[in-house]
Structure 1
Amino acid sequence: MQTDIEIAQAAEIKPITEIASNIGLKAHEIVPYGYDKTKIALDPSVSRKKDLGKLILVTSINPTPAGEGKSTVTVGLADALQLAGRKAMIALREPSLGPVMGMKGGATGGGYAQVLPMADINLHFTGDFHALTSAHDTLAAILDNSLQQGNPLNIDPRRILWKRVLDINDRALRHVSIGMGGPTSGVPREDGFDITVASELMAILTLSTDLMDLKERIARIVVGYTYEKEPVTVKELGVAGALTVLLKDAIKPNLVQTIAHTPAIIHGGPFANIAQGTNSILATKTALQLADYAVTEAGFGADLGGEKFLDVKVPLLGKTPDTIVVVATVRALKHHGGVALADLNTENVDALATGLKNLGQHLTAMGRYGVPVVVAINRFTADTETELQTIKDYVRQFGATAYTTEVWAKGGAGAQELASAVIETVEQESDFTPLYQPEDEAVDKLNAIVQTIYGGKKIALEPKAQKQLAEFKQRGWDKLPIIMAKTQYSLSDNAKQLGAPKDFIITVREFVPKLGAGFLVAMTGNILTMPGLPKHPAAFDIDIDEHGVITGLF
């Protein structure tokens, strides 16, 4: 069996200028990065529709090592819509080198439902992440230089929020000491590194509506506090303009294509377990302007990326989903039902029935928003007809229908039934209702997420979090949307609690104010903003030969 990269390397790829022309973009509206990828200019185009297309949000159950294939289904669905004669586009996030070199893998789909050029996208692509890393660390350098040059803003080195970033999993950098070389080497203090996708600049890039909005949001970033505990912003440091200059190209969406030549925009890459987990406003909006059907995905499960897409991104996007697709696999559901990874190829309807409660909670959560929901079963070769039918029978009680897809092996041809269902459901009436209102108290927003989306009992705040909320209320920050930083593997904040646990309490240990992005991050459990590498990183298996042919990249 061919690997993903072997399939991608054998695929025919069309000139990106042809793909751009096919969707109505003129030569002056694109900035090609070689033969097979281009950026799309930010200037409004007369060729773009004023009426937005239909929006399909693809999300999933809680991920497991057994695999779900959300991005693969997203790509396959868009290809299937194209096969059905519909004008479709995809909007996805960019992959981080952390998972690529670590253990999760890439973010371009798989098999015959992939986005090309697969290797480039999973590695350096158009340099967006490098630009973000440079801009973030430039701000860190400016901040420390301000301390060194007499500290005119009276910043308390003990209360600095702005860490440095690196786009690779490096646990050794979570906590570091800097400025240790004597008087000429800076002010000694404790610091640390986050992974680039956790940077507030990443969140800002994906939530900005244009270049000036990006600049204004950057200016609002709180980098730390003074000795009098007053917030210090980028505006006060005087570098909002310089940081925007470093991101002037990164803010432009990237256009590529699938194996089937369906246009795909890949832009931005915040993780959904520590950030908002969605591609950029500009990417999704552009796809909606250029196509009749825009298929997008949100990171990890519906409890993380799905909820954040609906409650954080949708108000800024100005467009609600017309259909939500929840992806599940027999294998993952059996794992949620207690089956060991080694035994997943054996039929086990009882375990599947237990694991289906996880899917049920996500269907309940997504159904709460008033948008039609369908289920995509990403089929594996070991799945039995009995197991597949068990899923289809189960989801009917939630008013949903499940459709089997085989997009890894067949591309768009493996999702034609799903595509037909989506074409039908996007025309149904919907009554989108957000989970909470902006004026709701922070604790009420947190409880709404825990109780409605996770199926838990309530939120609990540790003393530090309680004190922070009181301070935020005094500053007028307490009504911002909430980003839950939570394990992706469980509905609870305990990664080992699979399935659909009940009566659990989510504990928030602290909040991180991100005023530039426009939300508060609630840190739960032992979630980390700088992951570590596994014992056998994926990097061990990646190689290249004398002809430049890459192997081992999935």
Structure 2
Amino acid sequence: MLTDIEISRAAPLLPIGEVAAKLDIPAQAIEPYGHYKAKLTLDALPKRSTTGKLILVTAINPTPAGEGKTTTSVGLADALSRSGRRTALALREPSLGPCFGTKGGAAGGGHAQIVPMEEINLHFTGDFYAITSAHNLLAAMVDNHVYWGNALGLDVRRISWRRVMDMNDRALRGLVQSLGGASNGYPRESGFDITVASEVMAILCLASDLADLEARLGRIIVGYTADRRAVTARDLNAAGAMAALLAHAIKPNLVQTLEGTPALLHGGPFANIAHGCNSVIATRAALGLADYVVTEAGFGADLGAEKFFDIKCRKAGLAPDAAVVVATVRALKMNGGVAKADLAQPDVAAVERGGVNLARHLENVRQFGVPAVVAINRFASDTEQEIAAVQAIAAAQGCEAIVCTHFADGSAGAADLAEAVAALADSGTARFVPLYDDRLSLFEKINSVATRIYRAEEAVADASVLAQLRRWEADGFGDLPVCMAKTQYSFSTDPTLLGAPTGHVVHVREVRLAAGAGFVVAICGEIMTMPGLPRVPAAEGIRVNAAGQIDGLS
């Protein structure tokens, strides 16, 4: 079979104007970036819709065996479109970190891809650069303010605004800056996060328009004075310039799938260290332009789906109509204790053991009042007995599990899934409700996610963390939702604890207030907000060939 990039390269693409016409997007709303991608102007897009059906694609906990959440999102959207339903995708943009690290790109795979694949995975329309620049402009203005007299009285020990870059680089996690003498400022400890973890990224994805974007940027807290008074980006007069850098980035990007289904790609926060959803602007626009909108939340349902429901839907007033939980026989066998090298060997018992992970995710989605269907992303090595075991696990949870072959067959391989999802979305059985009430304390919200979604015995935190949460509550931030940052590989904070563990403890080692985005980040276990590259990074196999084409992207 051809590689992903070879399939993408061979595909005949529609001019972007024809893609836009499928959703009746007027020509004046299109700002082309070449022939096959465009920005969409905000004033010509619908802001709200009560007609479009919102379908969330989520998954079991990721494993090295692969699940194919984005591939399934694309295959489902193509199949819905092929059936005659007016459909749009609303997905996130890729980060360069995974592209050159381990995970690879985020444009799908096989015959279920978003194209042009190389451009989407590398640079795209420059949104991530704009976010990085806006974030780092604020960092520079913080240090500049201190250098020129510090009129706001920022305590350099309490400056919390770090810098970001869109690349995995463990060497930048912690550093001492401003060395080299008085002309370089005041030396202090700081560090870098990856751009997808930036509060600016979250703000871009949660803002409703440009005015809301600038207002949220102004609320960013960069640090505190010695008497613990918050200093904001507005205090530094930085919000206007930051918004200017983001004025084009806030516009959603329009591209297409291999089969010509319109796809709005916008924003790219990771779900393990951020809120893991594409932009509210793009989702609302898609719901106003299409009858069925397929969106995706990052990593497993314990992370991405929970944040989609508790942060994005809560704050944007969205009510999902159906969910798809993606699973593979191979991943369930890994959860059942099978080594990656042995996954091709039939093992129904391992599927049944690992099936507790799928069952847990289905139980969790049901807590939000959203009906779900399971998509079995089929591999060639899967046996009929193993498939039947997955279907039995889903049936025990009151869900249908449907075999999909969209990777190999495109929309035809997801036709049955499309019919089941459309029926579920049209049924009107969804009764969406967030997991916790706004009025709970911040730590009670953290504990709710830990006990009800992760099935932990409890969440714990040091006295200093609890005191910080109480200070934020006293400052008026107690009604904010929480964004849990933890490993994506397990319901626990231990990435080696697979399946469906119970009785574990979730240790919250740090909390960060994202006042502009509108949530509190709880950093749990050993998760890092700046990832590192693996022993053999994907970058080693990426190059430009003699024809000027990029090889090695996946």
- 1:264 is matched with 263
- 2:380 is matched with 381
Per the alignment, do residues 45 and 201 of structure 1 end up closer, same or farther by CA in structure 2, a change over 3 Å counting?
closer
- 2:213 is matched with 214
Unmatched segments (≥5 aa) in structure 2: none
Q: Following the alignment from structure 2 to structure 1, what is the Cα–Cα distance between the partners of residues 261 and 315?
A: 26
8 Å contact kept, 1:95–1:106: yes
Q: Are 1:485 and 2:485 counterparts? A: yes
Deviations 1:330-382 (A, max 9, x none): 00000011100000010111111110000111000001111111000000000
Deviations 1:89-143 (A, max 9, x none): 0011011000000001111110000000000000100000000111111111100
Higher mean C-alpha deviation, range 467-476 or range 201-210? 467-476
- 2:102 is matched with 103
Deviations 1:435-468 (A, max 9, x none): 1111112222122211221122211112221121
Unmatched segments (≥5 aa) in structure 1: none
8 Å contact kept, 1:60–1:300: yes
SS of equivalent residue, structure 2 residue 483: strand
Q: Following the alignment from structure 1 to structure 2, what is the Cα–Cα distance between the partners of residues 431 and 530?
A: 37
8 Å contact kept, 1:59–1:325: yes
SS of equivalent residue, structure 1 residue 426: helix
Q: Which runs of 4 or more aligned residues in structure 1 lie more than 4 Å from their structure 2 counterparts after TM superposition? A: none
SS of equivalent residue, structure 1 residue 454: coil
SS of equivalent residue, structure 1 residue 66: coil
8 Å contact kept, 2:202–2:275: yes
Equivalent positions of 1:391-540 (< 5 A) are 391-428=390-427, 429-540=429-540
Q: Following the alignment from structure 1 to structure 2, what is the Cα–Cα distance between the partners of residues 44 and 185?
A: 46
Q: Following the alignment from structure 2 to structure 1, what is the Cα–Cα distance between the partners of residues 249 and 507?
A: 36
8 Å contact kept, 2:320–2:430: no
Q: Following the alignment from structure 1 to structure 2, what is the Cα–Cα distance between the partners of residues 404 and 92?
A: 23
Q: Following the alignment from structure 2 to structure 1, what is the Cα–Cα distance between the partners of residues 300 and 274?
A: 13
Q: How far 1:45 moved relative to its partner?
A: 4.5
- 2:15 is matched with 15
8 Å contact kept, 2:314–2:434: no
Deviations 1:230-268 (A, max 9, x none): 111001001110100000000000000000000001100
- 1:300 is matched with 299
8 Å contact kept, 1:49–1:290: no
Q: Following the alignment from structure 1 to structure 2, what is the Cα–Cα distance between the partners of residues 479 and 300?
A: 26
Percent of pairs with identical residues: 53
- 1:365 is matched with 364
Which residue type is aligned with residue 36 of structure 2? D
Q: How far 1:8 moved relative to its partner?
A: 0.2
Q: Following the alignment from structure 1 to structure 2, what is the Cα–Cα distance between the partners of residues 176 and 116?
A: 39
Q: Following the alignment from structure 2 to structure 1, what is the Cα–Cα distance between the partners of residues 22 and 262?
A: 9
Q: Following the alignment from structure 2 to structure 1, what is the Cα–Cα distance between the partners of residues 280 and 119?
A: 23
Q: Following the alignment from structure 2 to structure 1, what is the Cα–Cα distance between the partners of residues 236 and 190?
A: 19
Per the alignment, do residues 49 and 213 of structure 1 end up closer, same or farther by CA in structure 2, a change over 3 Å counting?
closer
Deviations 1:37-75 (A, max 9, x none): 0011010458x8854300100000000010000000000
Which residue type is aligned with residue 519 of structure 2? F
Q: Following the alignment from structure 2 to structure 1, what is the Cα–Cα distance between the partners of residues 226 and 443?
A: 29
8 Å contact kept, 2:49–2:287: no
Higher mean C-alpha deviation, range 291-300 or range 225-234? 225-234
Q: Following the alignment from structure 2 to structure 1, what is the Cα–Cα distance between the partners of residues 509 and 189?
A: 20
Equivalent positions of 1:307-386 (< 5 A) are 307-386=306-385
Q: Following the alignment from structure 1 to structure 2, what is the Cα–Cα distance between the partners of residues 314 and 44?
A: 23
Q: How far 1:546 moved relative to its partner?
A: 3.1
Which residue type is aligned with residue 59 of structure 2? S
- 2:227 is matched with 228
Q: Following the alignment from structure 2 to structure 1, what is the Cα–Cα distance between the partners of residues 40 and 177?
A: 40
TM-score, structure 1 normalization = 0.98
- 2:158 is matched with 159
SS of equivalent residue, structure 1 residue 165: strand
Q: Following the alignment from structure 2 to structure 1, what is the Cα–Cα distance between the partners of residues 237 and 20?
A: 38
8 Å contact kept, 1:161–1:223: yes
Q: How far 1:410 moved relative to its partner?
A: 0.5
Q: How far 1:433 moved relative to its partner?
A: 1.7
8 Å contact kept, 1:255–1:264: yes
8 Å contact kept, 2:45–2:285: no
Deviations 1:294-350 (A, max 9, x none): 000000000000000001101233221110100000000000111000000101111
Higher mean C-alpha deviation, range 30-39 or range 466-475? 466-475
8 Å contact kept, 1:366–1:373: yes
8 Å contact kept, 1:468–1:510: no
SS of equivalent residue, structure 1 residue 68: coil
Q: How far 1:427 moved relative to its partner?
A: 1.6
8 Å contact kept, 2:512–2:521: yes
SS of equivalent residue, structure 2 residue 61: coil
Deviations 1:449-493 (A, max 9, x none): 112211222111122211211212221222210000010000001
Q: Following the alignment from structure 1 to structure 2, what is the Cα–Cα distance between the partners of residues 69 and 373?
A: 17
Q: How far 1:185 moved relative to its partner?
A: 1.2
Q: Following the alignment from structure 2 to structure 1, what is the Cα–Cα distance between the partners of residues 173 and 367?
A: 38
Deviations 1:415-436 (A, max 9, x none): 1111010111112222112111
- 1:36 is matched with 36
SS of equivalent residue, structure 1 residue 548: coil
Q: Following the alignment from structure 1 to structure 2, what is the Cα–Cα distance between the partners of residues 124 and 14?
A: 21
SS of equivalent residue, structure 2 residue 344: coil
8 Å contact kept, 2:55–2:295: yes
Higher mean C-alpha deviation, range 26-35 or range 55-64? 26-35
Q: Following the alignment from structure 1 to structure 2, what is the Cα–Cα distance between the partners of residues 319 and 218?
A: 23
Equivalent positions of 1:127-276 (< 5 A) are 127-276=126-275
8 Å contact kept, 1:326–1:374: yes
Q: Following the alignment from structure 2 to structure 1, what is the Cα–Cα distance between the partners of residues 280 and 426?
A: 23
Q: Following the alignment from structure 1 to structure 2, what is the Cα–Cα distance between the partners of residues 37 and 364?
A: 39
Higher mean C-alpha deviation, range 119-128 or range 441-450? 441-450
8 Å contact kept, 1:90–1:294: yes
8 Å contact kept, 1:281–1:316: no
Which residue type is aligned with residue 25 of structure 1? I
- 1:544 is matched with 544
TM-score, structure 2 normalization = 0.98
8 Å contact kept, 1:464–1:510: no
SS of equivalent residue, structure 2 residue 497: coil
Q: Following the alignment from structure 1 to structure 2, what is the Cα–Cα distance between the partners of residues 159 and 173?
A: 19
Alpha-carbon RMSD across the aligned residues, in angstroms, is 1.1
SS of equivalent residue, structure 1 residue 260: coil
Q: Following the alignment from structure 1 to structure 2, what is the Cα–Cα distance between the partners of residues 354 and 410?
A: 30
Q: Following the alignment from structure 1 to structure 2, what is the Cα–Cα distance between the partners of residues 52 and 452?
A: 32
SS of equivalent residue, structure 1 residue 237: coil
Q: Following the alignment from structure 1 to structure 2, what is the Cα–Cα distance between the partners of residues 49 and 175?
A: 42
Which residue type is aligned with residue 33 of structure 2? Y
Which residue type is aligned with residue 489 of structure 1? Y
- 2:278 is matched with 279
Which residue type is aligned with residue 177 of structure 2? I
Q: Following the alignment from structure 1 to structure 2, what is the Cα–Cα distance between the partners of residues 173 and 50?
A: 43
